Structure 1
Amino acid sequence: MKELSKRTSVFTDSVIRRMTRISNEYNAVNLSQGYPDFEPPVEITNRLAQVAAEGPHQYATTWGAQNFREALARKQEHFSGMKVDPNKEIVVTCGSTEAMMAAMMAVTNPGDKVIIFSPFYENYGADTILSGAEPIYVPLNPPNFNFDADLLEEAFKQDAKALILCNPSNPCGKVFTKHELQVIADLAIKYDTYVIADEVYEHIIYAPHKHTYMASLPGMRERTISCSSLSKTYSITGWRLGYVIADERIIDRVKKVHDFLTVGAAAPLMEAAVVGLNFKDDYYLELQRHYTHMKNLFINGLNQIGLKYTEPQGAYYVLVDISEFHYNSDIEFCEWLAREVGVGAVPGSSFFQENVNQYIRFHYAKKDETLNMALEKLSHIYSKARVL
Structure 2
Amino acid sequence: MSLSIPISQRVQQISMSATKEMPILAAKVGDCVSLGQGVPSFATPEHVVKATSQALFSDTLAGKYSLQPGLSALRRAVADYLKAEKQVEYDPDGEVSITVGAMEGLLTAFLTLVDKGDEVILPEPAYASYIEQVLLAEGKPVFVPLNKKDWSLDIEAVKSAVTERTRAIVVCNPGNPTGGVYDPGQVRALAELAREKGIVLISDETYDYLIYDNTPHLSPASLPDMGEHVITINSFSKKYAMTGWRVGYVAAARPLMEQMMKVHDSAAICAPTPSQYAALAAITGPQDVVAHMRSKLFERKELAVRRMRAMEGVFDFVEPRGAFYLLARYLFSSEDSRTVAIQILEQAKVITVPGGSFGPSGEGHLRLSFGATQADLNQAFDRLEQWAAKKKLA
TM-score by length of 1: 0.94
SS at match of 1:7: helix
Is the 1:19–1:344 contact (alpha carbons within 8 Å) kept by the matching residues of 2? Answer: yes
Q: How does 1:1-388 map to 2 (within 5 A)?
A: 3-26=6-29, 27-55=31-59, 56-280=62-286, 282-306=288-312, 307-323=315-331, 325-354=332-361, 356-385=362-391
Q: Is the 8 A contact 2:115 2:138 kept in 1?
A: yes
Q: How many pairs are equivalent?
A: 386
Query: Sequence identity, in percent?
Result: 27
1:314 match: secondary structure: coil
* 2:324 aligned partner, one-letter code: Y
Of residues 150-159 and 112-121 in structure 1, the stretch that sits farther from structure 2 once superposed is 150-159
SS at match of 1:175: coil
Q: CA deviation at 1:283?
A: 4.2
Cα distance change, pair 269–357 in 1 and its aligned pair in 2 (3 A): closer
Q: Is the 8 A contact 1:24 1:30 kept in 2?
A: no
Is the 8 Å Cα contact of residues 206 and 288 (structure 1) preserved in structure 2?
Answer: no
Residues 148, 368 of structure 1: CA spacing in aligned structure 2 closer, same or farther, 3 A cutoff?
closer
**Distance apart, 1:291 and its partner CA:** 1.7
Q: Could you say if the C-alpha distance between residues 50 and 383 of structure 1 is closer, same or farther in structure 2, counting changes exceeding 3 Å?
A: same
Gaps of 5+ in 1: none
* Counterpart contact for 2:22–2:36, Cα < 8 Å: yes
Shift of 1:376: 2.0
Shift of 1:57: 0.7
Contact 2:122 2:169 in 1 (8 A): yes
C-alpha separation in 1, matches of 2:180 and 2:318: 10
Cα distance in 2 for partners of 1:116, 1:357 equals 15
CA 1:224–1:378 in structure 2 vs 1: closer, same or farther (change >3 Å)? same
Shift of residue 2, structure 1, vs aligned partner:
5.5
Task: Describe the SS at the equivalent of 2:16.
Answer: coil
Assess if the C-alpha contact under 8 Å between 2:153 and 2:182 holds in 1: no
Name the Cα RMSD after superposition.
Answer: 1.8
Query: SS state of the match for residue 21, structure 1?
Result: helix
Cα distance in 1 between the residues matched to 2:155 and 2:335: 32
Deviations 1:285-344 (A, max 9, x none): 334322211111221122234343211111110111212x12412212111111221211
Q: Distance in 2 between matches of 1:43 and 1:294?
A: 25
Q: C-alpha distance in 2, partners of 1:149/1:50?
A: 49
**Does the Cα contact within 8 Å between 1:330 and 1:359 map onto a contact in 2?**
yes
SS state at 1:379 partner: helix
Per-residue CA shift, 1:238-291, capped at 9, x if unaligned?
Answer: 111011101111111111210111101111121122111013554443343222
Quick one: distance in 2 between partners of 1:213 and 1:111? 29
2: distance between equivalents of 1:167 and 1:387? 40
Looking at structure 1, the residues matched to 347 and 165 of structure 2 have their Cα atoms a distance apart, in angstroms, of 48
> Partner of 2:12: helix, strand, or coil?
coil
- Cα distance in 2 for partners of 1:2, 1:21 equals 27
Q: Which amino acid aligns with 1:23?
A: A
How far apart are the structure 1 equivalents of 2:203 and 2:318? 23
- Please state whether the residue corresponding to 1:115 is helix, strand or coil: strand
Find the aligned partners of 1:358 and 1:106 in 2 and give their Cα distance. Answer: 34
Distance 1:352 1:108 in 2: 20
The answer (yes or no) to whether the contact 2:206–2:233 under 8 Å persists in 1 is: yes
* Alpha-carbon contact 2:14-2:135 (below 8 Å) kept: no
